[in-house]
Chain A
């Protein structure tokens, strides 16, 4: 098949005029090579400037009090406590819901599903979802979880926000699961079948454990994307100013588990919340310079959390490569 590529005027080779002046062509070659390298260098410099700028602005503000203070209208007293706890709540629910759903769907598509129209629709659909802007998921969350399902989710609650993020990262986990399952050699499955196992037994006992490092890496990367997401949560009703954290009933748990579950539901996951990136956004959007220092300190905390998660993913990936 021919491409509609029309060669640039400046390119003598493609124009059919062979320029025999080698020095000139090599000079152009060197200039081009320098250009490509400078593109990479520019990207790295911007990254470095961004990190240095943030650390210079925020490192002085970062201390134990800052992590432990409640939000406040006075910048020097405001802290990250509520946002940190909120992020922990939301991400715990996201992880607990998205991991089984994503891995289950991935297993179905890779191990069980026949190649028919049903499977193809799901596949095309998953690819399409990856191209939907994240704020659209926020609108979906606003309409479905916050409005329609309000009796269950409690409106603008931890649960609504978490479910919105679950829908956002589900395609990523499904794709990662499928890729890891595909990498497991077929001989393992055939050996399992030969011993009389059913398909699910083979998947559960042999294939999934082998694919697990890849699945976990993909899941952690997806979760680290969810941690930094701001727009869908704002659209789905995370509040910028929340003074208290959701309740986790520790004491009741020992005394009366049923009551504890009730509290966990109504005062925990149905509670309003804020998360790290929203707290950062809220601080950046204010005109006072002190709040912006707070934002820089918040960004450092967010980046450290992300770095920790990515390191775990990289360690898992290396472990995976060693066992292969």
Chain B
């Protein structure tokens, strides 16, 4: 029945004056809400545009003063000295050291933990272990930095006397522990999504559990696992506090994991801690380094996106 129609003559169970729908108002509110909320959703787009615009603008300013080829080929990083050199490869080599070491920890630990949680642990054990991994994932990175600098480094120095107080080895190891939960939980989701029928088929052919996992389950979950690993690499490259605290602020070119190094993120922190003058070369340099960092992580994310689309296995 149309609610706006008058009540039937005679029978007046409901006095219609009490409730009169104001449809015009409702539709206006509806429209206003839609526009406001759409604007909120657009903030995320504005954030991306803001990030790209600021990085591009300041990097452009930077390259007006420092030629691109110097930025890419010099082998010293001394942007704040009189005879300034801007070899980004020095910082990249530091980031490479910490993130490569971290992946050496996070890939085996994370994947084995994922296999354990999804294939071996009983539901009850799983319900205890998952929150523990979540706690590990939720610990602020500055705490991991404290741990790397003041526990792991002195501990490792017992076995490796050549290890210096700041080094990429303990920073990388702790960074690996910090991203292990990420690898574990994303890989576990991928492994969990593999249908039981594939495992049953493998068992029916006489394979043992390990053989099933390695030759059937992991290949079936490959796209998810690889994307989790790429995400972890990108997290390791962009991680800041652990490497700033434990790896030091000395720009060192090379691949030696025992000496202090300065990663890209550590440089940004080092400069922004002081009061940077706007339009000074220091200010522009952190944006150029930020741009490099952004491009590396962005290309990793795009690669992961492409990989998942290309190699995703779909099961009914």
Chain A residue numbers with a CB within 8 Å of B245 are 281, 284-285
In the complex, which residue of chain B has the Cβ closest to the Cβ of A307? Answer: B135
Pick out which of these stretches binds chain B: A78-86, A99-107, A263-271. A99-107
Query: How far does the alpha carbon of A318 sit from the alpha carbon of B205 in the complex, in Å?
Result: 42
Q: Which of B1-49 contact A (CB under 8 A)?
A: 3, 21, 26-27, 29-30, 33-34, 36-38, 40-45, 47-48
B29 in complex: contacting residue of A37, A140, A200, A235, CB < 8 Å: A200
Q: Provided the pairs A3-B222, A131-B234, A135-B238 are in contact, do residues A277 and B142 lie with their beta carbons within 8 angstroms? A: yes
CB distance from B25 to the nearest CB of A (A): 10
Interface size on B, residues (CB 8 A): 96
CB-contacts of A101-141 with B (<8 A): 101-102, 104-105, 107-109, 112-113, 121-122, 125-126, 128-129, 131-140
In the bound complex, what is the Cα–Cα distance between A301 and B124 (angstroms)? 31
* A281-B214 in contact (CB<8A): no
A258 contacts B by Cβ under 8 Å: no
B139, B214, B301: the one within 8 Å of A131 (CB): B301
0 or 1 for each of B48-73: is its CB under 8 Å from A? (1 = yes):
10110011001000000000000000
Interface residues of B in 204-228 (CB under 8 A from A): 206-211, 213-215, 219, 222
Indicate whether A136 sits within 8 Å of B30 (C-beta atoms), given known contacts A108-B37, A125-B44, A129-B44. Answer: no
A-chain residues with CB within 8 Å of residue B58 when the two chains form the complex: 143
Q: Select the stretch in B78-86, B108-116, B192-200, B252-260 that faces chain A.
A: B108-116
Which B-chain residue is minimally distant from A32 (CB atoms)? B210
Q: Bound state CA distance, A134 and B61, in angstroms?
A: 23
- What's the Cα separation between A93 and B234 when bound, in Å? 29
Q: How far is the CB of B1 from chain A (nearest CB, A)?
A: 11
A182 at the B interface (CB under 8 A): no
Chain A residue total in the interface (Cβ 8 A): 96
* CB neighbours of B278 from chain A (8 A): 147
With known contacts A1-B311, A235-B269, A170–B215 Cβ distance under 8 A: no
Verify if B87 is at the interface (C-beta below 8 Å from A).
Answer: no
B150, A36: Cβ atoms closer than 8 Å: no
Judged by a CB distance under 8 angstroms, whether B272 is at the interface is yes
Complex Cα spacing A196 to B1, Å? 11
Are A139's CB and B30's CB within 8 A? no
Are A302 and B113 within 8 A (Cβ)? no
Nearest CB in chain B: distance from A141 CB, A: 10
Contact call B177/A139, Cβ cutoff below 8 A: no
Say whether A196 contacts B3, CB under 8 Å.
Answer: yes
Residues in A1-47 with C-beta less than 8 Å from chain B: 1, 3-5, 7-8, 11, 13-14, 18, 25-26, 28-29, 32-33, 35-40, 42-44, 46-47
Q: How far is the CB of B224 from chain A (nearest CB, A)?
A: 12
**Which residue on B lies nearest to A224, using beta carbons?**
B138
CB-CB under 8 A from A198, the residues of chain B are 26-27, 29-30
Contact with B along A266-294 (1 / 0, CB 8 A): 00000000000100110011000000100
User: What residues on B are CB-neighbors of A134 within 8 Å?
Assistant: 238, 240
Bound CA–CA A310/B222 (angstroms):
32
The answer, yes or no, to whether B117 is at the interface (CB within 8 Å) is: yes
CA A185 – CA B260 in complex, angstroms?
56
Known: A43-B113, A140-B54. A29 touches B208 (CB 8 A): yes
With both chains docked as a complex, state the minimum distance between the C-beta of B242 and any C-beta of chain A, in angstroms: 10
Determine which of B110, B181, B209, B215 lies in contact with A29 in the assembled complex, contact meaning CB atoms within 8 Å. Answer: B209
From known contacts A25-B208, A131-B297, A277-B140, infer whether A235 and B272 are also in contact, taking CB-CB under 8 Å.
yes
Closest 8 pairs (CB-CB, A-B): A133-B238, A228-B140, A39-B112, A108-B37, A231-B240, A36-B116, A105-B41, A104-B40
- B positions within 8 Å CB-CB of A: 3, 21, 26-27, 29-30, 33-34, 36-38, 40-45, 47-48, 50-51, 54-55, 58, 108-113, 115-117, 119-120, 129, 132-133, 135-136, 138-147, 149-151, 177, 180-181, 184, 206-211, 213-215, 219, 222, 231, 234-235, 237-241, 244-245, 265, 268-269, 272-273, 278, 286-287, 290, 293-294, 297-298, 300-301, 311-313
A sample of 14 more A-B contacts (CB under 8 A), given A133-B294, A135-B238, is A26-B208, A28-B208, A105-B37, A112-B37, A122-B42, A129-B44, A132-B238, A133-B239, A135-B240, A144-B50, A228-B140, A234-B272, A296-B146, A310-B135
The contact sample of 7 A-B pairs, CB cut-off 8 A, is: A47-B135, A132-B298, A133-B239, A170-B43, A230-B240, A235-B269, A299-B143
